[in-house]
Chain A
Amino acid sequence: MTTIIPRVRVPATAAPGEIVRIRTLLTHPMETGRRKGPDGVVVPRWIVTRFVAAFAGETIVSVEIDPAIAANPYFEFDARLEASGVFTFRWTDDIGAVYEVTQDIVVG
């Protein structure tokens, strides 16, 4: 069975008001359900359908994902932070699995 590995890169520290780059990578096959495997049988659809990033409990990025997105979806975004807190990153796929990572950042 495939192990799905979520990875994030968040700076450990930032100055108040500084814009920091947040990078996320989920190694996921993003099977469209339209491809045949080596045995000639269609590989079942299995895609990540949603990515949500939150900071201090508040959603800051929310992405709906369709089968056209390639394998191993990579998202990056910038955030301006005024206080320390915890990022939560959550991917949900269409077999009901949820992959979640949290990461602290110290602002000050």
Chain B
Amino acid sequence: MLLDRRGAIRAGLAAVAALAAPAVLGQARPRVVVVGGGAGGASFARALAMGGGGGVDVTLIEPSKEYYTCFFGNLYIGGFVEFASLGHSYAGLAVNHAINVVHDWALAIDRDPRQVVLAGGGRVPYDRLVLSPGIDFIEGAIPGWDIAAEARMPHAYKGGTQVALLKAQVAAMPQGGVFALVAPPNPYRCPPGPYERVSMIAHHLRATNPTAKILIFEPKEAFAKQQLFEAGWSDHYPGMIEVLPDAFTGGVERVDAAAMEIVAGGEVTRVDAACVIGPQRAGRIVQVAGLTDATGWAPIDPFTMRARADPFVTVLGDSAQPGDMPKSAFAANSQAKVAAMAILVDLLEAPGFAPRYANVCWSLIDTDDCVRIGAAFAPTPEKIATVDGSAFLSAVGEDAETRRTNYLASLAWYAAITNDMFA
């Protein structure tokens, strides 16, 4: 019956309380366990602890002791922010919000009797579970590109040391060398991310290695903010960047990280540094929990972010099928707020209101030249849908002050979302 519900508000609080009662009213406090401490999970844990006013026991399972944001990693590559500034401690969640932060790896979900199995051997029982593990790469999707190959051809798409590695490898390119980015097929995390990354690498190379070239192996017919990036590249990095669509190359067949070769349509391209962002799917724990469908992502109830396959489990962020929303930190944070409200309505009979979602993605092309895309979203029974008339996108040829204002807004957003995750 929970599965059929289209959001707590529509169903009515009485029905919710009746369903929830057997699970939680016999305990002192209901237990909510969160797997994954990123933009979805950390935002959710903090929002739930704050909204629950001590009425909910919140456990966050996250293997990293310090979180390095994937977002703004490109700005680090471009030299606009320091690596250390991307790192954030979980201490605030423990100290300020009494969240039990468990640094372990969730191996499996035992959906009956509702326990998380940890790599360290422990089991954590839950009344409600929230999974926000981000993305995983589909193993074997690009022959030759595996975990070992990621040392020479990093994805740098989950934040942290991979991003530092990529920056170091770009910096070590010989004069006039070739950098290649293998872009992912849809759907994937942060649609403009690969192209902001190319912009930031071009920004670095223009100053240090101006005869270097950048090749993008592109599986999509079109990519996010394409006209904005193309105009920006033409303005700032003329002649440096080439996009090689699969239609032309025949598609990347394999890579050889030892020889630094990318093979597309039978033609071998030798490169000096490379970033391979492979095809993606929901994080492993969502897969092994059995919450994904044939797409590799988890279908969710658009009103609550609950998994279609299990009403006791919520899936947030990149692992979920977000309807019209892109996979982004902004989107995951927005979904976390909706999910926290839905669970508080569910467990504590807290007041709820009509869920709304939002997203904005900024992309820096060059110093003070920042473009943005965004929209508001609302749930329908089928999907999270764009609110008519809410979508916006930077315009080609707009003035420099607008672009600079976008950049300042992106800095303010970074401070705000990391505060919302960790403060």
* Interface size class, chain B: 20 to 34
Say yes or no for B403: interface residue by CB 8 A criterion: yes
A56 to chain B, nearest CB (A): 24
Binds A, one of B29-37, B68-76, B236-244: B236-244
Say yes or no for B230: interface residue by CB 8 A criterion: yes
Binds B, one of A22-30, A59-67, A82-90, A96-104: A22-30
On whether A37 and B235 interact (CB within 8 A), knowing A9-B250, A29-B230, A71-B230, the answer reads: yes
What total of A-B pairs shows CB separation below 8 Å? Answer: 59
Chain A residues within 8 Å of B249, by CB: 9
B239 touches A2 (CB 8 A): yes
Closest Cβ neighbor of B238 among chain A residues: A2
Say yes or no for B96: interface residue by CB 8 A criterion: no
**B397's contact among A2, A7, A36, by CB below 8 Å, is which?**
A36
User: Interface majority SS on B: helix, strand, loop or mixed?
Assistant: mixed
Beta-carbon contacts under 8 Å, B240-263 to A: 242-245, 247-250
Q: How far is the CA of A23 from the CA of B235 in the complex (A)?
A: 27
Say yes or no for A95: interface residue by CB 8 A criterion: no
**A35's contact among B247, B250, B396, by CB below 8 Å, is which?**
B396
A98 to chain B, nearest CB (A): 17
Say yes or no for B267: interface residue by CB 8 A criterion: yes
* Interface size class, chain A: 20 to 34
On whether A38 and B235 interact (CB within 8 A), knowing A9-B249, A23-B248, the answer reads: yes
Say yes or no for B231: interface residue by CB 8 A criterion: yes
A27 touches B242 (CB 8 A): yes
Question: Can you identify 21 A-B contacts, CB atoms within 8 angstroms?
Answer: A1-B238, A2-B238, A2-B239, A3-B239, A5-B242, A7-B248, A9-B267, A23-B247, A24-B248, A29-B234, A29-B238, A35-B231, A35-B397, A36-B398, A38-B235, A38-B403, A40-B400, A43-B235, A70-B230, A71-B230, A74-B245
- Point out residues on A near B: beta carbons under 8 Å: 1-5, 7, 9, 23-25, 27, 29, 31, 34-40, 43, 70-72, 74, 76
- Point out residues on B near A: beta carbons under 8 Å: 227, 230-231, 234-236, 238-239, 242-245, 247-250, 265, 267, 366, 369, 396-400, 403
